[in-house]
Structure 1
Amino acid sequence: MKFIVQWKGQPGVQQSAINRFLETGGRPPENVTLVGRWHVVGELAGVAIVEATDTSGLAAMMLQWGDLLSFTSAPALTDEELGAALTALKAASN
């Protein structure tokens, strides 16, 4: 399952976050696949699309950075996945 993960830095942690990212490359846990990640220019914030078979990997990823960043996450669908769900909904309502 894919998830949209957004983060924002806690006040005063920018240098610590920079150092950790440079040391680790920001790699997610083994059971999480990073599809893509984008950073807000001039702000300690960003968004990533990740794929995980369950939420335990997602939780581990957030806990790795939880002392520096706050997170929000939500399940995500591609256009094709949403289209299939909408088609099934339409067929069920007929």
Structure 2
Amino acid sequence: MKFIVQWQGQPAAQQAAIERFMKSGGRPPENVTLLGRWHAVGELKGVAIVEVSDTTALGELMLEWGDLFTMSATPASTDEELGAILAARQSQAK
């Protein structure tokens, strides 16, 4: 399942976040596939798209950075996945 993960940190967390990112390369936990990640330039926030087979791995990711950032995760679908869901819904409505 894909998730949109968003994070935002306070200025006081910036140095610790930089050090952790530089040390770890920002690699996600083993069972999390990072599909893309974007950082807001000049701010301590960003967004990533990840794929996990279960939410335990997602929880690991959020706990790994949760001491430095406020984080949220929202289920996500591609255009193709959403199109299939909508098509099935339209078929049921007829």
TM over 0.5: yes
- SS of the residue corresponding to residue 58 of structure 2 reads helix
TM-score for the superposition, normalised by structure 2? 0.97
Aligned residue number for residue 38 of structure 1: 38
- What does the per-residue CA deviation read over 1:7-62, in whole Å, with 9 as the maximum and x for residues that have no partner? 00134010000000000011111110000000000000000000001111010001
1:11-50 maps to which residues of 2 (within 5 A)?
11-50=11-50
- Matches of 1:11 and 1:23 in 2, distance apart? 19
Structure 2 unaligned blocks of 5 or more: none
- SS of the residue corresponding to residue 63 of structure 2 reads helix
Aligned residue number for residue 69 of structure 1: 69
Q: Say how many residue pairs are matched.
A: 94
Aligned residue number for residue 4 of structure 1: 4
- Matches of 2:66 and 2:11 in 1, distance apart? 13
| CA RMSD in angstroms, aligned pairs only | 0.7
TM-score for the superposition, normalised by structure 1? 0.97
4+ runs deviating over 4 angstroms: none
Identity %: 64
